[in-house]
C-alpha cells in the first residue's frame, strides 16, 4: 500500500471518527458543517484531506474561522509531477507542505462576488496570491475556480483545478 493510500485511509478514519460521513457529490454540503466536514463529504478532496492531516492543519480548519479555502481536487493533485505528493507527505517535508496548503487559505469569508473585485489576496502563509477574472472564469494563482461559494459554518470553499505553489523566497 502506497503512502498516499495509507494517508488517505488515515484521513478517512479520522473523519469517520469525528462522525463525518462521505457524500457522493460535491454538491452535498450544508452551512452547519465546518470546512473539513464539507470537503470530506464531497468525496473529491481525498488527497487534500490526507495532506491537511499530514500537515496537522485539520483542527485549524475545523476552528472558528472564518476561512476561505481554494480547494484543489484529487484531479488537481494528480496533475503534479509523479512522486511529488508522496514526497510532500513525508514527515521531513511538513514545513513545505504546510506552506503550500496555507497558500490555499485566506483569512475571512470571501465569496465569489468579492473575489471578482480583487486582483490579489493575502494568504494565511503570508504570501500574496494573484486573482483575475476574464471570459467568465476566475483564476487564483494560476488555478481556475471550477465551483464557488460552497458555504461551511466557518467559511467558504472555492474549488480549483490546480494545486497552487507559493512563490519562492
Instruction: Tell me how far apart the alpha carbons of residues 134 and 153 are, in angstroms, rounded to a whole number.
Output: 30
Q: What is the pLDDT of residue 169?
A: 60
Name which residue leads in pLDDT, 26 or 93. 93
Instruction: Tell me how far apart the alpha carbons of residues 92 and 164 are, in angstroms, rounded to a whole number.
Output: 21
Residue 26 has pLDDT above 90, yes or no: no
**Ranges of each domain in the chain:** 3-160
Residue 8 has pLDDT above 80, yes or no: no
CA 139, chain centre distance (Å): 15
Architecture of domain 3-160: Roll (2.30)
Q: At which residue does the C-alpha cell 517535508 appear? A: 93
Q: Which pLDDT tens digit goes with each residue over 113-165? A: 887 778 999 999 999 999 998 888 899 999 999 999 999 999 999 999 999 99
Name which residue leads in pLDDT, 54 or 15. 54
Paired with 120 in beta bridges are 130
The model's pTM: 0.81
Phi, psi of 138 (to 5 degrees): -110, 130
Paired with 43 in beta bridges are none
Q: Which pLDDT tens digit goes with each residue over 95-127? A: 999 999 999 999 999 998 887 778 999 999 999
Amino acid at each position: 500500500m502506497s503512502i498516499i493510500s495509507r494517508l488517505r485511509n488515515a484521513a478517512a478514519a479520522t473523519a469517520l471518527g469525528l462522525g463525518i460521513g462521505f457524500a457522493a457529490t460535491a454538491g452535498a454540503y450544508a452551512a452547519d458543517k465546518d470546512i473539513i466536514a464539507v470537503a470530506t463529504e464531497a468525496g473529491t478532496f481525498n488527497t487534500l484531506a490526507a495532506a491537511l492531516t499530514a500537515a496537522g492543519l485539520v483542527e485549524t480548519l475545523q476552528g472558528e474561522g472564518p476561512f476561505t479555502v481554494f480547494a484543489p481536487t484529487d484531479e488537481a493533485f494528480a496533475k503534479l509531477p509523479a512522486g511529488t505528493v508522496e514526497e510532500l507527505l513525508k514527515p521531513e517535508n511538513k514545513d513545505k507542505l504546510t506552506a503550500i496548503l496555507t497558500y490555499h487559505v485566506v483569512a475571512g469569508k470571501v465569496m465569489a462576488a468579492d473575489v471578482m473585485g480583487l486582483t490579489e489576496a493575502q494568504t494565511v502563509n503570508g504570501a500574496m496570491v494573484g486573482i483575475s477574472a476574464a471570459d467568465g472564469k476566475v483564476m487564483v494563482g494560476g488555478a481556475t475556480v471550477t465551483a464557488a461559494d460552497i458555504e461551511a459554518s466557518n467559511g467558504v470553499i472555492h474549488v480549483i483545478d490546480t494545486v497552487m505553489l507559493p512563490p519562492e523566497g
